[in-house]
Structure 1
Amino acid sequence: MKEATIQAYKWGVDLTFEVFSDERIAIDEFKLGRCDAVNMLGFRAREFNSFTGSLGAIGAIPSYKHLGIIIKSLSSPKAAHLMRIGEFEVLGIGPAGAIFMFTRDRSILLPKDFAGKRMAVLDDVPESEYLSQKHGITPVNSTIFNSILKFNNGTVDLTAAPAIVYEPFEMHKGLEPDG
């Protein structure tokens, strides 16, 4: 956000920001008009823009090549009308990368192996419920932040996350010794 503050200044905007440990609280503050913008994960953005919010759906973007095409297309002035729905406008999209399944048991290789396993599933993400039912997973409601903590401390057997979080969230702790 510090970089965004510098860019906003170039546009003549005096941007200040507040950090929240719970994204849902930041979104509530935005809805209440206590702030003018909010940075959120794509699945939460569906509430404000179903088009861009759907980009993170499972299987929506099959490769990084496709992701590049999508970002280039959405950055085009011709796509500007897709970024605004009602009073809300998407200012940017920052992909974190592909989502990987992390498991505490290396013998779990395919979705058929998920049956009976406890998996951190994100609150308010319909895909999580669907996957749990389809594969017989025992869902453990989680937030984006505590899903990895639950994995690391053994509360859940499976979690999904982009590779970029592996080191900062010390996911090796949940993978050792057999994951």
Structure 2
Amino acid sequence: MRKIICLMLLGLISVEGWAGEQTWCVFDPLGAKGDISRRLQDVRLTALQNRVDLKFQFFKNEKDAIQAFDQKKCSGLAASNFNTYRYNHFIGSTGGIGLISNNRVARMFLQLLNNVHVEKRMIGQDYEAIGMIPIGTAYMIMNTQQINKVSQLKNKRIGILEDNPPQQALVQSVAAKAAYVDFSDAVDLFKQKKIDILAAPAYGVLPYNIKKEFGESTQVVNFPVAYFAISIVIRPKDYPAGFGHQIRNWFVKNNNVLAAQAIQWENHLPAYYWADISNFEKQGYEAMVAKIRNRYVDLGYYDAYFVELIKRLRCIDDPQYLECRK
């Protein structure tokens, strides 16, 4: 059926208006059969309507996808919001600590992608951010004894990304030890007990038998660390005028489906893996995270407009959040 639809769409597009093929480098740990890749096939249908025939080159290692994009082997890149930060600070800030707190807030953000004030911040001279696939909240996964106090993080080895100063500052603030990882080796290092705590979305661990492969004591702390998403950036000069806007419209129209998928992944993680911490500890941690985050807003690392926007959305979702109280 999908092939038939594609052929029908191609028949409606004149040869004169055809913009040709464009390739996106796509990071998906599960390859061409992964959920991220399947979602991009839906985006491809909208691209066809806008005179672009998208081809995808899949990478299980994110560094390889980014390298290929930088070498201009692809005109588009679908990779983590943490690492697309270098191309667009606005969309990269979606992975900021203490910002997008859950899939509901992520969904509200998706609804605004074609807002004029948001859209202009996604368009740069060399790169343009055109969409975001929610993967879910990153939680602390522990293979050490249960931790229910921030003070118990002292001297624990926490896996963080090397080029992420706010994550480094957060680890230092709880007197833990930073262990640098990337998405290609993080889970293996965790399984080998070379790190004690791994921040990851449920999507990242669902393929594993957690108790068997990570250890019987493994638990997931039910408290958000950051938000993980796949961001899409392109070189706009390679595409027809208005292409980015049309793709962002697709994400706006499909915000519910995209967020629902992320929620479904989190719901698939069995209840006995989750560990709760007290409201008192949550409030103390939130205050610490907000302080560090605001420091990096002042330094220009996080996009200030994005931070204020997410604060407003978060207050709609959770009026009791500390920055929402008056």
Scaled to the shorter chain, the TM-score interval is 0.7 to 0.9
Going by fraction, where is strand more abundant, 1 or 2?
A: 2
Match of 2:118 in 1: 79
124-133 or 85-94: which moved more? 124-133
Distance 1:102 1:72 in 2: 30
Match of 2:50 in 1: 11
Match of 2:97 in 1: 58
Distance 2:212 2:128 in 1: 39
Contact preservation (8 Å) 2:102, 2:136: no
Larger RCO, structures 1/2 (Cα 8 Å, 6+ apart): 2
**TM superposition shift of 1:130:** 1.1
1:122 maps to 2:161: yes
Deviations 1:45-100 (A, max 9, x none): 11111111101101112343332221111233553212212221112111211111
Q: 1:162 aligns with which of 193, 201, 210?
A: 201
Match of 2:243 in 1: none
Contact preservation (8 Å) 1:118, 1:156: yes
Distance 2:44 2:162 in 1: 30
Distance 2:216 2:102 in 1: 31
Deviations 1:101-130 (A, max 9, x none): 011124222321111112222221222211
What's the TM-score, normalizing by structure 1? Answer: 0.88
How many correspondences in the alignment?
Answer: 179
Going by fraction, where is helix more abundant, 1 or 2?
A: 2
Runs of 5+ consecutive residues of structure 1 not aligned to the other structure: none
Distance 1:108 1:78 in 2: 42
* SS of residue in 1 equivalent to 2:139: strand
Contact preservation (8 Å) 2:138, 2:201: yes
* SS of residue in 1 equivalent to 2:178: strand
* Percent of residue pairs identical: 24
1-10 or 106-115: which moved more? 1-10
Distance 2:162 2:210 in 1: 21
The within-5 A match list for 1:1-179 is 1-2=37-38, 3=41, 4-76=43-115, 79-173=118-212, 175-179=214-218
Rg larger for: 2
What's the TM-score, normalizing by structure 2? Answer: 0.51
Deviating 4+ runs (over 4 angstroms): none
